[in-house]
């Protein structure tokens, strides 16, 4: 059995009932063959893969808060600090009922490679809670965030671990958490990113993940003699990443025609009405069914995957921007039969293992989330830089840096794929490039 297979089996045995974590580890380790296999003895002796797949530390804690009816509620809080070989831990906080140890670990593990690809000095972590923000009042959200931070603050810090947003955690939640951190520690530091613009947040952070997806997509298209302009695009989700993916798609001359949420999906042949989408999601915090009410020409399908879901629409490009494993083998087959040429992941691991293999085997250009959505965390790192020097950069300055970072990521993963004999396999390219930097730093720092 190869060293990589041994470690995959070890991860499965030691972490039972953690399918998302197993999936993420398998995807990375399977693609590291060209690096590891030729020097298996050396990597085995140094236990590099065991160290890379075991988190440095993981914290689980109780979050107790009072709802508007006076009842005490209890949730689980988590922070998985996976690897800080190249910089302080960095990664988002997810608030969603599906959060559990497996989801936290897969996200933290992926973050290690993603953060490495940004070229910036940030290690990998993830956290969150199984708290469901849907339908909660502002007061309930604040009480939850205060309670969550009253435990988390012990384990984070501007040079230790810097959390940020993710599903269910936006500017409002980061604001409440920052206020609590400041009160408890008496420190005004860049301990969280995605902060409001009046208290240390960076311009472009809100847009960064979605814009970054389009910047890397444009690089991919250019490298293949094509362009984003004029393309029809399917987007899933309707949160932070989906919204700014749609915005930049329009700016680059494409037509995004779908979006979705956990209750249904929209097909608007005229192109998604961005102003209406922002009004429904960012202002009203409502459901997508409201879109159809105001734009009767659009189709609304109740149920995220009903009638085939967003991936059944005939498009040139698919950009999954909602959640993990939302694009399965059946969806991949529909995309291929409809002539889709590229899938670029805005979300973390939205494509199943089988669907990824099928797309790649069908010559669909595929960029994994750890490369494609890295613009979010990269801009968070730029927020950290601005906080450290106590200055704020202009929108243009941050956006220009983001564009450069996304171009560099494309070049880096594409070069790594070529160098290791698998051109255009951007899954292998991203994993190999991410791995080489982190493992080199780990070795240089000795055993710990
Ligand atoms: P948001 O909370 O802003 O939006 C999430 C969107 O996905 C919503 O439309 C939500 O629908 C939908 N969704 C969430 N869970 C499910 C589910 N189980 N089934 C169906 N739909 C679901 O989150 P973000 O836009 O920030 O995050 C989206 C993805 O992008 C995640 O994978 C996240 O990890 C990743 N990401 C985010 C970054 C960021 O900067 N925010 C950076 C890099 C990656 P509903 O509103 O109905 O719940
Ligand atoms: O998945 C991610 O990269 C994020 N949710 C953003 C993390 C960050 O620290 O900005």
pLDDT per residue as tens digits for the range 317-368: 999 999 999 999 999 999 999 999 999 999 999 999 999 999 999 999 999 9
Residue 257 pLDDT greater than 90, yes or no:
yes
DSSP bridge pairs for 344: 367
218 CB within 6 A, ligand 1: no
The contacts of residue 362 (CB under 8 Å, 6+ apart) are 332, 336
Q: Which pLDDT tens digit goes with each residue over 9-34?
A: 999 999 999 999 999 999 999 999 99
Q: What is the number of the ligand closest to the CA of 384? A: 2
Q: Tell me how far the alpha carbon of residue 42 lies from the centroid of ligand 2, in angstroms.
A: 33
Q: Considering the entire predicted model, what is its pTM?
A: 0.98
Q: Where are the domains of the chain?
A: 1-54, 55-188, 208-372
The response to whether residue 237 sits with its C-beta less than 6 Å from ligand 1 reads yes
Average pLDDT over every residue of 278-300: 95
Task: Locate the ligand 2 atom nearest the alpha carbon of residue 380 and give its number.
Answer: 10
Which of 373, 384, 398, 405 to mutate to test ligand 2, by most ligand atoms within 8 A of the CB atom?
373
pLDDT tens, residue by residue, 376-392: 999 999 999 999 999 99
Q: What is the DSSP code (8-state) at residue 416? A: H
Ligand 1 site, residue 209, Cβ cutoff 6 A: yes
Is 67 within 8 Å of 131 (Cβ atoms)? no
Mean pLDDT of 424-436: 98
Check: CB of residue 78 under 8 Å from CB of residue 129: yes
Residue % of the chain over a pLDDT of 90:
99
For atom 3 of ligand 2, the residue with the nearest CA is 377
Residue 189's pLDDT band (boundaries 50, 70, 90)? very high
Q: Answer yes or no: 314 catalytic.
A: no
Which CATH architecture fits 55-188?
3-Layer(aba) Sandwich (3.40)
Residue labelled with tokens 């009932």: 17
Q: Is the pLDDT of residue 88 over 90?
A: yes
Quote the ligand 1 centre to 273 CA distance (angstroms). 19
Which residues, 6+ apart, have CB-to-CB distance to 378 below 8 Å? 118, 120, 208, 212, 402, 405, 406
Domain topology for 208-372: Rossmann fold (3.40.50)
Residue nearest atom 10 in ligand 2 by C-alpha distance? 377
Q: How far apart are CA 329 and CA 220, in angstroms?
A: 23
pLDDT value of position 448: 85
Give yes or no for residue 85 CB within 6 A of ligand 1.
no
Assign 198 a pLDDT band (cuts: 50, 70, 90).
very high
**147 in Cβ contact with 176 (< 8 Å):** no
**Residue of 126, 195, 231, 281 marked active site:** 126
| Distance from the alpha carbon of residue 333 to the mean position of ligand 2, in angstroms | 30
The alpha carbon of 86 and the centre of ligand 1 are apart by a number of angstroms equal to 27
- Spacing, Cα 302 to ligand 1 middle (Å): 18
Closest CA to ligand 1's atom 13: 322
Model pLDDT, residue 443? 95
Sheet holding 299-302, edge to edge: 258-260, 264-267, 299-302
Q: Whose CA is nearest to atom 48 of ligand 1?
A: 262
Structure tokens at 423: 């051109």
pLDDT-derived band at 438 (thresholds 50, 70, 90) equals very high
* Residues near ligand 2 (Cβ within 6 A): 90-92, 114, 164, 166, 193, 348, 376-377, 380
For residue 318, the CA-to-ligand 2 centroid distance in Å is 21
The yes-or-no answer to whether 55-188 and 208-372 have a common fold is: yes
For residues 290 and 250, give the distance between their C-alpha atoms in angstroms, rounded to a whole number: 22
How far apart CA 300 and CA 297 sit, in angstroms, is 10
Query: Mean of the per-residue pLDDT values for the chain?
Result: 98
């Amino acid at each position: 059995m190869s060293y990589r297979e041994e470690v995959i089996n070890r991860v499965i045995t030691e972490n039972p009932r953690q399918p998302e974590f197993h999936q993420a580890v398998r995807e990375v380790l399977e693609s590291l063959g060209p690096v590891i296999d030729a020097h298996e003895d050396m990597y085995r002796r140094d236990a590099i893969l065991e160290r890379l797949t075991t988190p440095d530390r993981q914290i689980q804690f109780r979050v107790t808060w009072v709802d508007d009816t006076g009842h005490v509620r209890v949730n689980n809080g988590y922070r998985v600090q996976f690897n800080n070989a190249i910089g302080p831990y960095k990664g988002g906080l997810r608030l969603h009922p599906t959060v559990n140890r497996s989801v936290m670990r897969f996200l933290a593990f992926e973050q290690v490679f993603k953060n490495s690809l940004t070229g910036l000095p940030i290690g990998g972590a993830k956290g969150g809670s199984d708290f469901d923000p849907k339908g909660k009042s502002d007061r309930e959200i604040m009480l939850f965030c205060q309670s969550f931070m009253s435990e988390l603050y012990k384990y984070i810090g501007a040079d230790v671990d810097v959390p940020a947003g993710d599903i269910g955690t936006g500017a409002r939640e980061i604001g409440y958490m920052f206020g609590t951190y400041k009160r408890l520690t008496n420190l005004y530091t860049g301990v969280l990113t995605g902060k409001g613009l009046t208290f240390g947040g960076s311009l472009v952070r809100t847009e960064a993940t979605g814009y970054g997806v389009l910047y890397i997509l444009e690089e991919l298209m250019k490298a293949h003699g094509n362009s984003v302009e004029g393309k029809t695009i399917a987007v899933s989700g309707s949160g932070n990443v989906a919204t700014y993916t749609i915005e930049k798609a329009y700016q680059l001359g494409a037509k995004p025609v779908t979006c979705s949420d956990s209750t249904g999906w929209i097909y608007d042949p005229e192109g998604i009405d961005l102003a209406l989408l922002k009004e429904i999601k960012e202002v009203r915090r409502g459901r997508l069914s409201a879109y159809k009410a105001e734009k009767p020409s659009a189709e609304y399908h109740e149920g995220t995957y009903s009638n085939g879901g967003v991936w059944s629409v005939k498009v040139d490009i698919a950009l999954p921007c909602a959640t993990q494993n939302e694009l399965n083998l059946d969806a991949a087959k529909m995309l291929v039969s409809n002539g889709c040429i590229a899938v670029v992941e805005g979300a973390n691991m939205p494509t199943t293992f089988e669907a990824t293999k099928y797309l790649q085997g069908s010559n669909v250009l595929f960029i994994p989330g750890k490369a494609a959505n890295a613009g979010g965390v990269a801009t968070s790192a730029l927020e950290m830089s601005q906080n450290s020097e106590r200055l704020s950069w202009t929108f243009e300055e941050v956006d220009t840096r983001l564009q450069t970072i996304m171009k560099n990521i494309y070049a880096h993963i594409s070069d790594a794929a070529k160098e290791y004999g698998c051109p255009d396999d951007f899954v292998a390219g991203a994993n190999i490039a991410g791995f080489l930097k982190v493992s080199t730093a780990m070795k240089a720092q000795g055993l710990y």
